[in-house]
Amino acid sequence: MFIKKHLVLIFMLSFAHAAFADDGYRLWLRYDKIQDKNTAALYTKQLQQLLFPGSSATIEKVKAELTEAFTGLLGKPPVGTKQVTANGTLIIGTPATAKIIATLQPTELNQINDEGFVILTAILQGKTCTVISAKTDIGILYGTFHFLRLLQTQQNISTLHIVSSPKIKFRLLNHWDNLNRTVERGYAGISIWDWHKLPDYIDKRYIDYARANASIGINGTVLTNVNANATILSPQYLVKVAALANVFRPYGIKVFLTARFSAPIEIGGLKTADPLDAAVQAWWKQKVKEIYTLIPDFGGFLIKANSEGQPGPQDYHRTHADGANMFADALATYNGIVLWRAFVYSSQSGDRFKQAYEEFTPLDGQFKSNVILQVKNGPIDFQPREPFSPLFGAMPKTPLAMEFQLTQEYLGQGTHLVFEAPLFKEVFNADTYQKGKGSTVAKIIDGSTNNFSLTAIAGVSNIGNDINWCSHPFAQANWYALGRLAWDYDLSSKQIAEEWLQQTFSNNAFFVSAAYNIMLHSHEALVNYMTPLGLAHIMYNGHHYGPMPWGNTLGRPDWNPVYYHKADSAGIGFNRTATGSNALAEYKTEVSDLWSDSNTCADKYLLWFHHVSWNHTMRSGKTLWNELCYKYYTGVDSVIAIQQQWNTLEKFVDAERFNQVQQLLNIQVKEAVWWRNASLLYFQTFSKMPIPSKYEQPDKTLEYYKSLRFPFAPGN
């Protein structure tokens, strides 16, 4: 009996520990040995030699990556050669570095831009070769990472013809990281930037961060919080920033900083920060010069001004354009850019939804050419679902950047599995009709609609110093998706999820399809159990953890949940039609027509634009109240289904990450029920209608849910 138990124990443990443990640190760059013998053998045959001339800081990193990847995937590092002496030669280079590529002169090279790459199967000197070529070393970097992705996902590499360039110029992470290492809206530990030990201590994480970003095409990072601290611009800190820039440079990643508008006063000793004041302009010019002396390829500034208490040009009765252009002038000499955030809303707003449009559209055309306006995907603030921001169709003379939030401030924070690619795609594919049908948000962002070469997509980072970077193993997928979609927004959520799963967990087809199914439904599930039918911003005050639709205690109306749902005895929802705030008028007619009639408006946006009676008949034939109940219960059921599906995947995943996800899904189910019950019990006080008896009724009272407090909720 003991023996049996013990042997079982032995099995369990060797499974649980050693071989099968994975702490998630390696992200999607695991390079574990390819288990499928045939595939491994084939790759070994197809990659017998490496012809990789040239050398530069970037090329050395690419060679290092190849060595690590081949050693991991195939059991041995690549064998260098100077000639094509056999089939299965991998050739990597630019026409400048590799004669053979110059002679080959693939016409495809003319189809790519400076960051693009070409991967071809070709016959050279009678031998079958795989050729990764590009115009620049950075293109080589991206091409090699793409090729390694093919190997990691076990694709057929026998006849490759890949021509790829990024559709967006600046593909950025925005870190809301403070100098004391707290991270605003961070749920994965503290900042990975250990400012105190910089510049002398280079954490291995900085290098692995650069590798991970380069592997998905991210080419810039804003190191500091948009709620900025001027200290980052002091000489003491700029040398620290320079040390990070030195680590990132070979990986094609530029550093950006957030500029505190009042820095000339706080660290410059000036009396004003007026953007039209000559001394202020001179101070910034000098500061920018100081930065470029240390960091020749510094990217520029991201600036949050006159928003949520941040100082800005309006403090001096100047416009956002006045402010942005001051920085633009200082940066222009060095090809630096200004990312000016459009996230503004003043306290005396009629409808917060309309504010950014009202403040910025009058300024269209007034910004210098190296200024790009960074706009959140929706008009409010990273809600589970929002209609696209009307600014995207309204500023033809101004380059617009997309700001998504990877960190899940309003999407379950650290404990909910939510794959955001479908959310990103929904925004990209939305049609603004700015220049007629097909003027999608993507076509605005990529510059094609209004002919801009300055383009950018930013994701607010979900990275912290947790061992696995993002706390929730599946949160890594949102970082991954941002990079992949910024490179090519036409990639499908399915392809992104599947290649991420294959690299991060397993190539097992059953696992991948089951886990993809989980990811695919996760966003809609969250929308349903948190804010269905176009509800928004009913999270708890401040930390935004959990439901608080009753919230009505904050000084500013537009900080209170009741402002957003406007539930009353008559119904629920925010009337933004002509009979209400008329925010719909900020969209082109083709768009507003879609949403202006509560009988034709899509369910998912209904309460964004209409105050609808509890008895309103929905498409489904149900009353609004019953539809609301249906959605909330469906949301919970979806998470339970996801939980059950995950529990069937234990044998495909290492014990460590399987248990992490399992525990987190258990929490997500609990919290989904909490969201459903608290929200419906509260809204019921207005609808006076019963939760249909077929549903499991709430087991706690509204008073109980109102009594919950979370004094130390993270990220606040």
Site string for its own copies, 455-494 (x = CB under 8 A): ----------xxx---------------------------
- Of 204 and 694, nearer to its own copies (C-beta) is 204
* Footprint of its own copies on 668-697 (CB under 8 A): 670
Q: Find the shortest distance in angstroms from Cβ 299 to its own copies.
A: 23
Our CA angle for 125, 113, 330, nearest 5°, is 145
Question: Are 295 and 241 contacting, i.e. CB atoms less than 8 angstroms apart?
Answer: yes
- Of 415 and 598, nearer to its own copies (C-beta) is 415
Catalytic status, residue 68: no
Q: Is 63 in the site for its own copies (CB under 8 A)?
A: yes
Q: Find the shortest distance in angstroms from Cβ 437 to its own copies.
A: 47
Instruction: Round to whole Å and give the CA distance between 133 and 120.
Output: 8
- Of 112 and 243, nearer to its own copies (C-beta) is 243
Instruction: Round to whole Å and give the CA distance between 450 and 331.
Output: 24
At which residue do the structure tokens 């124990």 appear?
9
Exactly one of 87, 88, 163, 181 binds its own copies (CB under 8 A); that residue is 181
Exactly one of 7, 57, 554, 578 binds its own copies (CB under 8 A); that residue is 7
Three state DSSP letters for 141-167: HHHHHHHHHHHHCCCCCCCCEEEECCC
Q: Is 231 in the site for its own copies (CB under 8 A)?
A: yes
218 alpha-carbon distance from chain centroid: 11
Sign, CA dihedral 403-407-413-417, equals positive
Exactly one of 667, 685, 690, 692 binds its own copies (CB under 8 A); that residue is 667
Exactly one of 35, 125, 180, 492 binds its own copies (CB under 8 A); that residue is 180
Which of the following is catalytic: 23, 60, 308, 696? 308
Q: Which token pair is 264?
A: 């000339």
Exactly one of 30, 68, 297, 366 binds its own copies (CB under 8 A); that residue is 68
Instruction: Round to whole Å and give the CA distance between 170 and 189.
Output: 27
Exactly one of 124, 640, 689, 713 binds its own copies (CB under 8 A); that residue is 713
- Of 7 and 570, nearer to its own copies (C-beta) is 7
Give the binding range for its own copies (CB under 8 A) out of 10-18, 128-136, 420-428, 562-570: 10-18
Q: CA end-to-end span of the chain, whole Å?
A: 54
Q: Find the shortest distance in angstroms from Cβ 681 to its own copies.
A: 21
Q: Find the shortest distance in angstroms from Cβ 21 to its own copies.
A: 9
* Footprint of its own copies on 118-177 (CB under 8 A): none
Q: Find the shortest distance in angstroms from Cβ 10 to its own copies.
A: 4
Residue 475 DSSP label: G
Q: Find the shortest distance in angstroms from Cβ 284 to its own copies.
A: 22
- Measured CA to CA in angstroms, residue 602 lies from 427, 524, 591, 606, 608 at distances of 15, 15, 12, 6, 10
Q: Is 588 in the site for its own copies (CB under 8 A)?
A: no
Q: Is 96 in the site for its own copies (CB under 8 A)?
A: no
Catalytic status, residue 290: no
Q: Which token pair is 268?
A: 């410059």
Q: Is 711 in the site for its own copies (CB under 8 A)?
A: yes
Q: Is 9 in the site for its own copies (CB under 8 A)?
A: yes
- Of 9 and 578, nearer to its own copies (C-beta) is 9
Instruction: Round to whole Å and give the CA distance between 344 and 354.
Output: 10
Instruction: Round to whole Å and give the CA distance between 254 and 138.
Output: 12
- What are the DSSP calls for 542-560, one per residue? TT--SB-TT---SSSGGGS
Q: At 511, which amino acid appears?
A: F
Q: Is 414 in the site for its own copies (CB under 8 A)?
A: yes
Q: Find the shortest distance in angstroms from Cβ 657 to its own copies.
A: 10
Catalytic status, residue 308: yes
Q: Find the shortest distance in angstroms from Cβ 416 to its own copies.
A: 12
Q: Find the shortest distance in angstroms from Cβ 83 to its own copies.
A: 11
Exactly one of 42, 53, 381, 450 binds its own copies (CB under 8 A); that residue is 53
Exactly one of 27, 28, 72, 94 binds its own copies (CB under 8 A); that residue is 72
| Coil, strand or helix at 239 | helix
- Torsion-angle region of 232 (φ positive above 0: left; ψ -120 to 50: alpha; else: beta): alpha
Instruction: Round to whole Å and give the CA distance between 361 and 355.
Output: 10
The footprint of its own copies on this chain (CB under 8 A) covers a number of residues equal to: 60
Which residues pair with residue 371 across a beta bridge?
A: 338
Q: Find the shortest distance in angstroms from Cβ 691 to its own copies.
A: 26
| Coil, strand or helix at 368 | coil
Q: Is 415 in the site for its own copies (CB under 8 A)?
A: yes
| Coil, strand or helix at 110 | helix
Instruction: Round to whole Å and give the CA distance between 532 and 551.
Output: 18
Q: Is 189 in the site for its own copies (CB under 8 A)?
A: yes
| Coil, strand or helix at 12 | helix
Q: Is 200 in the site for its own copies (CB under 8 A)?
A: yes
- Of 57 and 509, nearer to its own copies (C-beta) is 57
- What are the DSSP calls for 169-238, one per residue? SEEEEE--B-TTS-BTT--SSS-S--TTTTTT---HHHHHHHHHHHHTT--EEE-S-SS--GGGGSHHHH
Question: Are 312 and 264 contacting, i.e. CB atoms less than 8 angstroms apart?
Answer: no
| Strand 254-258 relative to strand 220-222, pairing | parallel
Q: Is 44 in the site for its own copies (CB under 8 A)?
A: no
Q: Which token pair is 566?
A: 């406007």
Q: Is 656 in the site for its own copies (CB under 8 A)?
A: yes
Site string for its own copies, 73-92 (x = CB under 8 A): ----xx-xxx----------
Q: Is 17 in the site for its own copies (CB under 8 A)?
A: yes
Exactly one of 41, 57, 64, 509 binds its own copies (CB under 8 A); that residue is 64
Q: Is 57 in the site for its own copies (CB under 8 A)?
A: no
Q: Which token pair is 385?
A: 């679902």
Q: Is 105 in the site for its own copies (CB under 8 A)?
A: no
Which residues pair with residue 374 across a beta bridge?
A: 341, 401
Q: Is 290 in the site for its own copies (CB under 8 A)?
A: no
Which of the following is catalytic: 266, 315, 329, 381? 381
Q: Which token pair is 530?
A: 């948190």
- Torsion-angle region of 249 (φ positive above 0: left; ψ -120 to 50: alpha; else: beta): alpha
Q: Which token pair is 420?
A: 């955001």
In the complex, which residues of this chain contact its own copies (CB under 8 A)? 2-3, 5-7, 9-10, 13-14, 17-18, 23, 25, 50, 52-53, 55, 60, 63-64, 67-68, 71-72, 77-78, 80-82, 179-181, 189-190, 195-197, 200-202, 204, 231, 414-415, 465-467, 656, 659-660, 663-664, 666-667, 670, 710-714
Please identify every residue annotated as catalytic.
Answer: 308, 381, 409
